[in-house]
Amino acid sequence: MAEITIREIAKRCGVGVSTVSRAINNHSDINPETKQRIMDVIKETGYIPNNSARNLKRTDAKCIGVLVKGITNPFFTPIIEKIEQETEKKGYALVLRHVEAYENEVNVALELEKEKRLRGIIFLGGSSKHDADKLRQLNVPVIFATIGSDISDNLGRNAYSTVSVDDAVESRKMVEYLIGLGHRKIAILTEGNDQPSIVSLRYEGYCDALNKHGIKLDEKLVKYVDRRIYAMQNGYETTKALIESGAKFTALFCVSDVLAVGALRALADAGIRVPEDVSVAGFDGQEIAQFCVPRLTTIRQPLADISEETMRLIFDLIEEKRGHKHLIFPGELVEGESTRKI
Amino acid sequence: MAEITIREIAKRCGVGVSTVSRAINNHSDINPETKQRIMDVIKETGYIPNNSARNLKRTDAKCIGVLVKGITNPFFTPIIEKIEQETEKKGYALVLRHVEAYENEVNVALELEKEKRLRGIIFLGGSSKHDADKLRQLNVPVIFATIGSDISDNLGRNAYSTVSVDDAVESRKMVEYLIGLGHRKIAILTEGNDQPSIVSLRYEGYCDALNKHGIKLDEKLVKYVDRRIYAMQNGYETTKALIESGAKFTALFCVSDVLAVGALRALADAGIRVPEDVSVAGFDGQEIAQFCVPRLTTIRQPLADISEETMRLIFDLIEEKRGHKHLIFPGELVEGESTRKI
DNA sequence: TTGTAAGCGTTATCAT
DNA sequence: ATGATAACGCTTACAA
């Protein structure tokens, strides 16, 4: 069965292909009756325009691309929803693209920009460190949302924007909060910091806080999760290992809420009460934090602000109203039921 | 800055465009030295082939498409991972496409099939009821995974495949389990069943079970969640309303684990102990079910089997080894700590 | 092994 | 308001 094309529709309607194109694309310079006739035939035949051909020819596609590393992470859900809303409001189309863990998001963006004629690109998730030159190969504005970056790097500073919390600062905030509650033996569940990442910044904040308060970093209280398994499971097993190691701790700081959920379960299984025996804190402020038992003390990222400013910024950049910016929003320490004064 | 094209590369290398194309696509009929020279220039210039142009011309793209409604639903994560693995193993490329809630997934598929020259399509999430004629417009094999359907419909039966659990049967299994534990006043948290969906099948199973055991359906125990808000919040609020309605119940069956998590929290807030005062059951067997406190009794969907068979089937269909099938796998009732005998 | 040229299915330009 | 026709950037016969 031969694919039906615009030519075929034109033939059946007894009009030229450009007229059909006009009908499809809602151009004004077309007789409404002709248009109706064409639309009828299109519906009848089930004709669907080929997007590859359209993208190839089209120059003015108002399209913004969102590349998400870890798209199944519910953390991104509210951000994506906001992006969708604002994009539509501006009359732009959205291309949401999932980036595999092993893929380099900038490479994917490079491809997608050409394929879809993107006008702007938003990165969610993934690395916080990118080659500025490569970034500049993207001929359209680029924003990293919820991914802070090393903006002391003057080369990179003007190659892209960032809208995020300061992960190191927020992390320190949480650890200082725990210290303020009287904790000195504070364990941490973090990821391997072989790559520069948000998580390594959170680990940094932990170290800073301890340091500032004259608490010596105890290697035995630093546990790295194995990235390869799902996060809750990860948090569970690593916490179990921590407990079984016999190391003494009165608080456990997890670099994400999801890890913390696993930790809560592991502690419960070991008969360790939260917060009576051990305080537990998370990071992110995901939905689960306020629904788990006990509710989790966490750093809530201001996702509404972040998404809003991201959208404002991307359109300003597209319209060349201003240059690249690095916006930092404060996180909010939400006290749950998982921490207590000792 | 003019986009760099294959012509430009050819010119710079002093070769024809087809030679460059050969280099890019790893064709064998090319001098390794020429190829190397070309690849060097490509790297140097940062040239990236335009995918729209490639897809337009290409006829043999070995590509399978996965359309996911609700891609941020972690339920799909393990399935998608399996699909990725198997697709790669077969030397196929994967096009993962997010379908908006308001979009019709079949329409999106129709577009994508042409754009990307798909050879097969897998649907995850979304409606279980589709127009068979429209489905047949897709010229490639179609499978609905984890979405059972009304296969008594003879027209549709041969237009697509399904690989799933029988949601009505599994749901009945769970409710009968609760009945077996001595519960008679069993409330349910479900979605509005205005649309034919998986959830409506689960509700059906609930009714069947009650009916079979001579328990009259009590409208006051049937609570519909408001779809528009996030699921846990949804489960929380609806359960709260149920509690405040004053209706008496000893068990609460939630049509998804995520709803159940919200329910657990609402019960805890009301000072109702689980499972001592009320038993709670979920559905799906998501990761959270085994990490929440108390662990959730749920129906675990055999996602490994489902994904495996889906992949086997799609390739068989592509290679025309066999026709459409409707595979049903049994779910597993996992006893957690959230239910008890009364 | 390599180059030339003809499409792929659209949209944009330019006549009419 | 409409129709030819030339791109868009690539792959793939077909020639050389």
pLDDT digits (tens, 9 = 90+) for A281-318: 999 999 999 999 999 999 999 999 999 999 999 999 99
CB contacts, 8 Å: B71 with chain A = 71-72, 98
Nucleic strand D under 7 Å from the C-beta of B18: yes
The nucleotide whose C1' lies nearest the CA of A61 is C11
Smallest CA–CA distance from B262 into chain A, residue: A291
Q: What pLDDT score was predicted for residue A157?
A: 79
Q: What pLDDT score was predicted for residue A168?
A: 95
| Maximal CA-CA distance, chain B | 84
Lowest mean pLDDT among A37-51, A146-160, B308-322, B324-338: A146-160
Residue A160, min C-alpha distance to chain B (Å): 18
Residue B264, min C-alpha distance to chain A (Å): 8
For Cα atoms B90, B113, A97, give the angle at the middle one, nearest 5 degrees: 80
Res. A1 pLDDT band, cuts 50 70 90: low
Q: What pLDDT score was predicted for residue A70?
A: 82
CB contacts, 8 Å: B264 with chain A = 291, 293
Q: Report which DSSP code applies to A2.
A: P
How does pLDDT run across A204-218, given as a tens digit for each residue?
999 999 999 999 999
Residue B72, min C-alpha distance to chain A (Å): 4
User: For helices A231-244 and A257-269, what crossing angle results, to 10°?
Assistant: 50
Confirm if B298 and B155 have CB atoms less than 8 A apart.
no
- Kindly report the three-state secondary structure assignment for every residue of B172-193: HHHHHHHHHCCCCCEEEEEECC
Q: Whole-model pTM?
A: 0.92
Angstrom distance (rounded) from CA A294 to CA A129: 36
Angstrom distance (rounded) from CA A80 to CA A172: 28
The answer, yes or no, to whether residue A202 has pLDDT greater than 90, is yes
The answer, yes or no, to whether residue B1 has pLDDT greater than 60, is no
Q: Do A115 and B52 touch (CB under 8 A)?
A: yes
The nucleotide whose C1' lies nearest the CA of B18 is C3
Q: What pLDDT score was predicted for residue A127?
A: 83
Angstrom distance (rounded) from CA B6 to CA B24: 10
A98's torsion region: left (phi>0), alpha (psi -120 to 50) or beta? beta
Give me B157's structure tokens: 């039966």
What are the b/e assignments for B24-37, b being 16+ CB within 10 Å? beeeeebeeebbeb
The residue that leads in pLDDT, B61 or B242, is: B242
Give me A232's structure tokens: 């809750």
Q: Provide the CA B34 to C1' C7 distance, Å, integer.
A: 26
Q: Provide the CA A254 to C1' C9 distance, Å, integer.
A: 53
Smallest CA–CA distance from A77 into chain B, residue: B72
How does pLDDT run across A2-23, given as a tens digit for each residue?
688 999 999 998 998 999 999 9
Res. A265 pLDDT band, cuts 50 70 90: very high
- Specify the pairing of strand A222-225 against strand A251-254: unpaired
Q: Do B98 and A96 touch (CB under 8 A)?
A: yes
The nucleotide whose C1' lies nearest the CA of B51 is D10
Query: What is residue A107's three-state secondary structure?
Result: helix
A52, A230, A293: residue with CB nearest B265: A293
Q: What pLDDT score was predicted for residue B179?
A: 98
Give me A323's structure tokens: 């240059």
Angstrom distance (rounded) from CA B294 to CA B199: 24
Give mean pLDDT, residues A169-188.
98
* Protein chain A, residues 55-74, with a C-beta closer than 7 Å to any atom of nucleic acid strand C: 56-60
Nucleic strand D under 7 Å from the C-beta of B330: no
The residue that leads in pLDDT, A148 or A44, is: A44
Residue A115, min C-alpha distance to chain B (Å): 5
User: For helices B17-24 and B32-45, what crossing angle results, to 10°?
Assistant: 90
Nucleic strand C under 7 Å from the C-beta of A3: yes
Confirm if B23 and B38 have CB atoms less than 8 A apart.
yes
Nearest protein residue to nucleotide D9, judged by CA and C1' positions = B53
The answer, yes or no, to whether residue B153 has pLDDT greater than 90, is no
The answer, yes or no, to whether residue A247 has pLDDT greater than 80, is yes
For Cα atoms B199, B200, B205, give the angle at the middle one, nearest 5 degrees: 95
Q: What pLDDT score was predicted for residue B126?
A: 86
Nearest protein residue to nucleotide C6, judged by CA and C1' positions = B57
How does pLDDT run across B8-36, given as a tens digit for each residue?
999 999 998 999 999 999 888 889 899 99
C-alpha torsion angle, residues B297, B299, B304, B305 (rounded to 10): 150
Angstrom distance (rounded) from CA A205 to CA A211: 10
Res. B100 pLDDT band, cuts 50 70 90: confident
Give mean pLDDT, residues A165-174.
96
Query: What is residue A332's three-state secondary structure?
Result: strand
Angstrom distance (rounded) from CA A17 to CA A30: 13
Residue A177, min C-alpha distance to chain B (Å): 25
Beta-ladder partners of A145: A124, A163
Q: First-to-last CA distance in chain B? A: 75
Angstrom distance (rounded) from CA B60 to CA B309: 25
Beta-ladder partners of A189: A223, A254
Q: Do A53 and B52 touch (CB under 8 A)?
A: yes
Q: What pLDDT score was predicted for residue B152?
A: 64
Angstrom distance (rounded) from CA B32 to CA B47: 20
DSSP E strands in chain A: the ranges are 63-69, 93-99, 120-124, 142-145, 161-165, 186-191, 222-225, 251-254, 279-281, 298-300, 326-329, 332-334
Angstrom distance (rounded) from CA A293 to CA B265: 7
Average confidence score pLDDT of chain B: 92
How does pLDDT run across B292-342, given as a tens digit for each residue?
999 999 999 999 999 999 999 999 999 988 999 999 999 999 999 999 999
Nucleic strand C under 7 Å from the C-beta of A25: yes
Q: What pLDDT score was predicted for residue B247?
A: 96
Q: What pLDDT score was predicted for residue B231?
A: 85
Amino acid at B194: D
Q: Do A287 and B233 touch (CB under 8 A)?
A: yes
Nucleic strand C under 7 Å from the C-beta of A107: no
Give mean pLDDT, residues A132-140.
87
Residue B291, min C-alpha distance to chain A (Å): 6
Angstrom distance (rounded) from CA B70 to CA B338: 27
Q: First-to-last CA distance in chain A? A: 75
CB contacts, 8 Å: B228 with chain A = none
Q: What pLDDT score was predicted for residue A218?
A: 96
Give me B189's structure tokens: 């948290």
CB contacts, 8 Å: B131 with chain A = none
- Kindly report the three-state secondary structure assignment for every residue of chain B: CCCCCHHHHHHHHCCCHHHHHHHHCCCCCCCHHHHHHHHHHHHHHCCCCCHHHHHHHCCCCCEEEEEEECCCCHHHHHHHHHHHHHHHHCCCEEEEEEECCCCCHHHHHHHHHHHHCCCEEEEECCCCCCCHHHHHHCCCCEEEECCCCCCCCHHHHCCCEEEEECHHHHHHHHHHHHHHCCCCCEEEEEECCCCCCHHHHHHHHHHHHHHHCCCCCCHHHEEEECCCCCHHHHHHHHHHHHHHCCCCCCEEEECCHHHHHHHHHHHHHCCCCCCCCCEEECCECCHHHHCCCCCCEEEECCHHHHHHHHHHHHHHHHCCCCCCCEEEECCEEECCCCCCCC
Please provide the size of chain A in residues: 342
Q: Which of strand D's nucleotides are less than 7 A from any protein C-beta? A: 1-5, 7-14
How many interface pairs between A and B have CB atoms less than 8 angstroms apart?
Answer: 115
Q: Do B114 and A84 touch (CB under 8 A)?
A: no
Candidates A58, A114, A259, A273, partner chain B, best to mutate (most B CBs within 10 A): A114
Give me A55's structure tokens: 């993208």
CB contacts, 8 Å: A80 with chain B = 72
Give mean pLDDT, residues A217-222.
96
Smallest CA–CA distance from B55 into chain A, residue: A52
Q: What pLDDT score was predicted for residue A291?
A: 97
What are the b/e assignments for B293-327, b being 16+ CB within 10 Å? bbbbbbbbbbbeebbebbbebbbebbeeeeebbeb
Give mean pLDDT, residues A226-231.
78
Confirm if B2 and B20 have CB atoms less than 8 A apart.
no
The answer, yes or no, to whether residue A323 has pLDDT greater than 80, is yes
- Residue reference for tokens 């680029």: A142
Q: What pLDDT score was predicted for residue B194?
A: 67
What are the b/e assignments for A116-126, b being 16+ CB within 10 Å? bbbbbbbbbbb
Q: Provide the CA A31 to C1' D5 distance, Å, integer.
A: 22
The residue that leads in pLDDT, A328 or B71, is: A328
Res. B288 pLDDT band, cuts 50 70 90: very high
Smallest CA–CA distance from A69 into chain B, residue: B72
Q: What pLDDT score was predicted for residue B192?
A: 78
Q: Which domains does chain A have, with CATH numbers?
A: 167-301 (3.40.50.2300)
Q: What pLDDT score was predicted for residue A95?
A: 93
Q: What pLDDT score was predicted for residue A129?
A: 82
Please provide the size of chain B in residues: 342
Percent pLDDT > 70 in chain B is: 96
Smallest CA–CA distance from B49 into chain A, residue: A111
Q: What pLDDT score was predicted for residue B197?
A: 79
Nucleic strand D under 7 Å from the C-beta of A182: no
Give mean pLDDT, residues A169-189.
98
The answer, yes or no, to whether residue B174 has pLDDT greater than 60, is yes
How does pLDDT run across B176-197, given as a tens digit for each residue?
999 999 999 999 999 876 677 7
Angstrom distance (rounded) from CA A238 to CA B95: 35
Nucleic strand D under 7 Å from the C-beta of B56: yes
Amino acid at B208: D
Q: Do B292 and A46 touch (CB under 8 A)?
A: no
Query: What is residue A297's three-state secondary structure?
Result: strand
